[in-house]
Chains A and B, each alone.
Chain A
Amino acid sequence: TQLLEQSPQFLSIQEGENLTVYCNSSSVFSSLQWYRQEPGEGPVLLVTVVTGGEVKKLKRLTFQFGDARKDSSLHITAAQPGDTGLYLCAGAHGNQGGKLIFGQGTELSVKP
């Protein structure tokens, strides 16, 4: 059972375009994280959001946690080829550190 649904699964865009990746669930999460993974490597944490409605910015990346803490989005402005990779959202329930539920990932390709 996939408790976290990511969309789209694949995204191919040109350099300079904007994009949004969505992460949706019917469950409430205590926190939600976004990771980026490059081929042959482990995921690397980008951001953690914990408060409903929270918005965090990391350079050209904007992350938002839904008011009900069931969904999140990642928006990239003016995408660059270096943004290419697999983006994963992951949610945690209560005080269950180390027990993350991952979405299936969004494969992003940014062409120059």
Chain B
Amino acid sequence: NAGVTQTPKFQVLKTGQSMTLQCAQDMNHEYMSWYRQDPGMGLRLIHYSVGAGITDQGEVPNGYNVSRSTTEDFPLRLLSAAPSQTSVYFCASGIGFSYEQYFGPGTRLTVT
């Protein structure tokens, strides 16, 4: 099993550009989530999904879109990148009843 995979590992965008961060898991987990990590702030939930076709907003959803068409994939779209979106982004998956999350290696995004 590859676990949770994320691409790309690094990305530099100019303000106003759009892009999609990819996330895939091969553990057949129902739950998938996107977090951003900024210094001194831990991880903050952006969006999450409890199954294919079902998504919901987390703590900091503005400027991001998600969709979940399959159990395996949960892409995160930045519609119009802003410098405030410079961060490290982590995708996670888990089995709902245990709440335990398995994290990908992260995508380091810089917006100039």
Contacts and interface: CB of A to CB of B under 8 A. Distances in A.
Interface string B90-106: 10101111111111111
Contacts of B94: 97-98
A6 B101 CA distance: 19
Interface residues of A, number: 28
B45 A88 contact: no
A48 B33 contact: no
Contacts of A98: 30-33, 48-50, 92, 94, 96, 101
A79 to B, nearest CB: 22
B2 interface: no
Nearest to A95: B96
Interface residues of B, number: 33
A3 to B, nearest CB: 10
A43 B43 contact: yes
A6 B43 CA distance: 13
Given A30-B99, A97-B96, A100-B45, A42 B90 contact: yes
Nearest to B106: A42
B12 interface: no
Interface stretch (A14-22, A51-59, A102-110): A102-110
Contacts of B102: 45
Contacts of A35: 103
A109 B45 CA distance: 27
A35 B99 CA distance: 13
Given A30-B99, A97-B31, A41 B106 contact: yes
Contacts of B95: 97
B61 interface: no
Most central of B31, B48, B100 by chain A CB within 10 Å: B100
Contacts of A97: 30-31, 50, 94-99
Those 5 A-B pairs whose CB atoms lie nearest each other, nearest first: A97-B96, A42-B103, A98-B31, A102-B42, A92-B99
